[in-house]
Amino acid sequence: MPQLPEPFRRFLNRYPDVEKAHMELSLAVNRQGPLEERGRRLVRLGVAIGTQSQGGVKSQARQALQEGFTPDELRHAALLALPTAGFPAMIAAAEWIDQVLEEAP
């Protein structure tokens, strides 16, 4: 597993109980619907793109790569944001995804 980003590590150190509750909530939400992990990952990536969350896009892209997504699939996810989230959000997400791809082993 790659090194966790420093802001997230600080959060874990400062608020371990909050992160534990957050993880439990995430697991409970995952169990509530019919989507498989691949679909859930794409939804999370799309939400991160739509909210223009650099950390979220990068985190979801890193996890997607670990789960077997291809670079073209991640780039397509960013491109799909164009009509809904707009050009600036799409361009930013594409750049963040490319940064993750450049850093990937």
In tens, the pLDDT along 50-90 reads 999 999 999 999 999 999 999 999 999 999 999 999 999 99
* 54/98 same-domain check: yes
* 29/47 same-domain check: no
Domain count, the chain: 2
* 96/45 same-domain check: yes
Q: Are 89 and 52 in contact (CB under 8 A)?
A: yes
Specify the DSSP class assigned to residue 68.
T
* 15/43 same-domain check: no
* 43/86 same-domain check: yes
* 67/56 same-domain check: yes
For residue range 4-29, what is the model confidence (pLDDT) as tens digits?
Answer: 889 999 999 999 999 999 999 999 99
pLDDT category of residue 2 using cuts at 50, 70 and 90? low
Task: In whole angstroms, give the CA distance from residue 99 to residue 80.
Answer: 18
The pLDDT, as a whole number, for residue 102 is: 97
Evaluated on CA atoms 18, 23, 27, 29, the torsion sign reads positive
* 64/50 same-domain check: yes
The pLDDT, as a whole number, for residue 5 is: 84
The pLDDT, as a whole number, for residue 86 is: 96
pLDDT category of residue 1 using cuts at 50, 70 and 90? very low
* 23/53 same-domain check: no
